[in-house]
Amino acid sequence: MGTPLFDNETPPALPKDVLDAGTAVLAGFVLDREEELLVSLKLVVGQSPFRNMITPGGFRMSVAMSNCGPLGWVTDRTGYRYSGIDPETNSSWPEMPPAFRRLAESAANEAGFPNFVPDACHINRDEPGTKLSLHQGKDEHDLTQPIVSVSLGLPATFLFGGLERRDKVVRIPLVHGDVVVWGGPAWLRYHGVGPWGEGEHPRLGRVRNNLTFRKAG
């Protein structure tokens, strides 16, 4: 077992707006509701466990995933899409916990996106050495609604590019409890998560969980 990353130290605060129009980084936004979020997360993945999905090209994704809410993001050889059915259980995804919904709505409002009503929460479980390459979200229908991304566990580097893959990438360090919100003119910007090394979070161990809320339907 490694040494906890935080030893009674407060991670450095990030400025609220560092990524240009339509974006916000809310440092430590989750911390005052951490307990109810972690309890809710455990319940969700107890019903729909993490799994490594297959891309349309036949590759096994390094990031393990689950979902909750009316819609869940899935990938297999037939393509990327949102579905109301968990293909592993052949049942509906778990309901989105009230604690999840309240967090997403309040973070969106804080970032300047009132009246956000998420219907999908995509949950990633990342381990040291995994990464999420730059990509665009193109599977949603309502691009007026923001994306709310919540970091829990190990720190990571959020990669935020432009509207073209070749555009300059901004690297934002994220720690447990930080939230990134983007939408409006920033909705279609490329984004991803860089690889990170060994470590251990006092509550979650050697993993990082990311909750991404969207209005997908």
Element holding 133 (H helix, E strand):
strand 132-135
pLDDT reading at 11 higher than 50: no
Say which range, 20-24, 52-56, 97-101, 116-120, has the weakest mean pLDDT: 20-24
- pLDDT at position 197 is 64
Question: Which residues make Cβ contacts (< 8 Å) with residue 75, sequence separation at least 6?
Answer: 53, 54, 55, 56, 61, 81
Report which of 159, 156, 175 is spatially closest to residue 167, judged by C-alpha positions: 159
Residue 16 resides in a domain: no
CA distance 122 to 209: 10
- pLDDT at position 196 is 67
Residue 67 resides in a domain: no
Question: Percent of the chain having pLDDT more than 90?
Answer: 56
Of the pLDDT bands very low, low, confident and very high (cuts 50, 70, 90), residue 113 is: very high
Count the domains in the chain.
1
CA distance 36 to 95: 15
- pLDDT at position 17 is 43
- What sign results for the dihedral spanned by CA atoms 201, 172, 184, 33? positive
- pLDDT at position 139 is 61
CA distance 169 to 209: 23
CA distance 51 to 98: 24
Residue 165 resides in a domain: yes
Residue 74 resides in a domain: no
Residue 141 resides in a domain: yes
Residue 4 resides in a domain: no
Higher pLDDT pick, 142 / 75 = 75
Helices and strands (H and E) in the chain: how many? 2, 14
Tokens (6 digits) for 155: 């720190």
Residue 201 resides in a domain: yes
Tokens 């509550």 -> residue: 203
For the segment 179-208, what is each residue's pLDDT rounded down to a tens digit? 999 988 887 888 888 876 677 888 888 889
Instruction: Give the CATH number, domain containing residue 170.
Output: 2.60.120.590
Residue 111 resides in a domain: yes
Domain with 163, as residue range(s), is 23-49+100-214
- pLDDT at position 92 is 97
For the segment 39-52, what is each residue's pLDDT rounded down to a tens digit? 999 999 999 999 99
